[in-house]
DNA sequence: TTAAACTTTCATTAATTACTGAAAGTTTAA
DNA sequence: TTAAACTTTCAGTAATTAATGAAAGTTTAA
């Protein structure tokens, strides 16, 4: 297989995966491109490689930087900026989980908190409060686990967790 | 707070959460509605409650049944079908994880498998193969963990895992 | 300074995804 | 049978989300 094909296919798959998880396709594709590129790329190069407009490239590069998945590299004597992305998939997942849990779990907990003080005492109200409380408990537990994950170390995590789950 | 408000807010939040994770809003909302409803509901009732069309209701109810998150209930002497959803959040997450990993992890592994046999031996090719291989290893590990999770039992999982991670 | 090299913004347009509702299909009971 | 009660489909439309590209903004070096 030729590198060029393989790269294209990889970028394509990564983009699809991203968009089925609520991350826009271009953002995932730029990320994929930077992961597999041995050196940092300029906006121009990214645009050319993925066939996208300047605006699109710029917006999504900035988003990736927001998420901490991509960094600027300033090359001495070069006017334009270069971008590179980490290649360590463990670090990448930790970042993604960190960002998403920050952006999505906290607000949900916030919104669940208030839903339990109901005036009614009907069966329907009870069912409702039960579901909401369970969900809240569960969410807190998941959040704790994710926090631990974010702070954990790769080798330890896999070695220990896998053997642990194997029991 | 009034039950009616609380219900609306819950359905709304659940819908938003779903759509930020690539699950369509109506599907999540129907699911939310059924979770908090003490009895099974007919299509008609779902339509009225969420203000959606017959077609939309029908399609999304079927999707939820596909995912195993909602079941039909046949009431003797009743012509129409009633639907209800499990209220156990642990079971719900297991189902969701099961469906999504089946639909999304397998295809990714499939696609990664072939990308590593490159003709080129350049630096760029090496970087590429390294990233793809790491990603493949990682994905397999994650898949294994998820499989275990799907098969595990709630009490065991939380009690043991949480205390384990606490170390 | 200023003009070239670059980055960012944003109104417009395009692409994608979800929803509607009427019509076709199916089931049941009389 | 058949007709009423219900479910499913699907072409058309609406809503949402993403992408374009020209214009405005910024930085740098001469």
Same domain, residue pair A66 and A114: no
Given the structure tokens 């359905």, which residue do they identify? B11
Band of the pLDDT at B158, cuts 50, 70, 90? confident
User: Strand C footprint at Cβ < 7 Å?
Assistant: A 19, 42-44, 54-55, 58-59, 61-62, 78-81; B 19, 24-26, 51-56, 59-60, 79
Beta strands in chain A (DSSP E): 41-42, 70-73, 82-85
Residues of A in contact with B9 (CB under 8 A): 111, 115
pLDDT of residue B162: 66
Q: A105 is in which domain, residue-wise?
A: 89-166
Q: Which residues neighbour A24 within 8 Å (Cβ) at sequence distance 6 or greater?
A: A18, A60
For B32 and D13, how far is CA from C1' in angstroms? 27
Residue whose C-alpha is closest to residue B60's, from B36, B38, B30? B30
Where does a domain end: A85, A119, A142? A85
Q: Note whether B145 contacts A: Cβ–Cβ < 8 A.
A: yes
Q: Residue B47: what are its φ and ψ, rounded to 5°?
A: -55, -45
Same domain, residue pair A48 and A102: no
B101-129: average pLDDT: 90
Residues making up chain A, counted from first to last? 167
pLDDT surpassing 80 at residue A45:
yes
Average pLDDT of chain B? 92
For residues A114 and A60, what is the distance between their CA atoms, to the nearest angstrom?
A: 35
pLDDT of residue B33: 97
pLDDT surpassing 80 at residue A165:
no
Same domain, residue pair A69 and A99: no
Same domain, residue pair B146 and B94: yes
Measured between CB atoms, which of B38, B128, B134 is closest to A127? B38
Same domain, residue pair B111 and B155: yes
Decide if A128 and B3 are in contact by the 8 Å CB cutoff. Answer: yes
Least confident of A48-52, B121-125, B130-134: B121-125
**Pairing state of beta strands B70-73 and B41-42?**
unpaired
Cα angle vertex B17, ends B16, B20, to 5°?
85
Beta strands in chain B (DSSP E): 41-42, 70-73, 82-85
For residues A46 and A44, what is the distance between their CA atoms, to the nearest angstrom?
A: 5
Measured between CB atoms, which of A1, A104, A162 is closest to B119? A1
Q: Is the CB of B9 under 7 A from strand D?
A: no
Decide if A158 and B135 are in contact by the 8 Å CB cutoff. Answer: no
Decide if A141 and B162 are in contact by the 8 Å CB cutoff. Answer: yes
Band of the pLDDT at B86, cuts 50, 70, 90? very high
Instruction: State how many domains chain A has.
Output: 2
Measured between CB atoms, which of A6, A117, A127 is closest to B118? A6
Residue B125 CB neighbours (<10 A): 18
Most confident segment among A122-126, B54-58, B98-102, B103-107: B54-58
Q: Which residues neighbour B109 within 8 Å (Cβ) at sequence distance 6 or greater?
A: B136, B139, B140, B143
pLDDT surpassing 60 at residue B30:
yes
Residue B127 CB burial class (10 angstroms; 0-12, 13-18, ≥19): middle
Average pLDDT of chain A? 92
Same domain, residue pair A30 and A70: yes
Which value, in Å, is the radius of gyration of the alpha carbons in chain B? 21
pLDDT of residue A1: 87
Q: Say which CATH number the domain at B73 has.
A: 1.10.10.10
Same domain, residue pair B80 and B109: no
Same domain, residue pair A93 and A153: yes
pLDDT of residue A154: 84
pLDDT surpassing 70 at residue A162:
no
pLDDT of residue A103: 87
pLDDT of residue B156: 82
pLDDT surpassing 60 at residue B167:
no
A133-155 confidence digits (pLDDT tens): 999 999 999 999 899 899 988 88
B124-148: average pLDDT: 92
Decide if B125 and A3 are in contact by the 8 Å CB cutoff. Answer: yes
Same domain, residue pair A118 and A48: no
Same domain, residue pair A36 and A94: no
Q: Note whether A91 contacts B: Cβ–Cβ < 8 A.
A: no
Q: Which two tokens stand for residue B89?
A: 């959040």
For residues A101 and B20, what is the distance between their CA atoms, to the nearest angstrom?
A: 12
Collapsed DSSP state (helix, strand, coil) of residue A75 = coil
Q: Note whether A121 contacts B: Cβ–Cβ < 8 A.
A: no
A6-35: average pLDDT: 95
Same domain, residue pair B96 and B64: no
Decide if B135 and A22 are in contact by the 8 Å CB cutoff. Answer: no
A80-122 confidence digits (pLDDT tens): 999 999 999 999 999 999 999 988 898 899 889 989 999 999 9
């Amino acid at each position: 297989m030729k590198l060029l094909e393989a790269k294209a296919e990889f970028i394509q798959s990564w983009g699809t995966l991203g968009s089925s998880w609520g991350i826009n396709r271009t953002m995932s594709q730029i990320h994929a491109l930077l992961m597999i590129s041995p050196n940092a790329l300029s906006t121009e190069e990214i645009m050319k490689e993925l066939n996208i407009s300047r605006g699109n490239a710029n917006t999504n590069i900035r988003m990736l930087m927001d998420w901490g998945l991509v960094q600027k590299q300033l090359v001495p004597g070069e006017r334009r900026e270069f971008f590179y992305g980490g290649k360590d998939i463990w670090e990448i997942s930790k970042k993604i989980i960190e960002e998403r849990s920050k952006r999505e779990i906290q607000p949900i907990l916030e919104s669940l908190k208030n839903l339990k003080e109901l005036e009614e005492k009907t069966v329907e109200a009870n069912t409702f409060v039960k579901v909401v409380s369970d969900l809240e408990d569960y969410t807190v537990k998941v959040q704790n686990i994710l926090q631990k994950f974010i702070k954990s170390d790769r080798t330890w995590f896999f070695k220990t967790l896998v053997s642990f789950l194997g029991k």
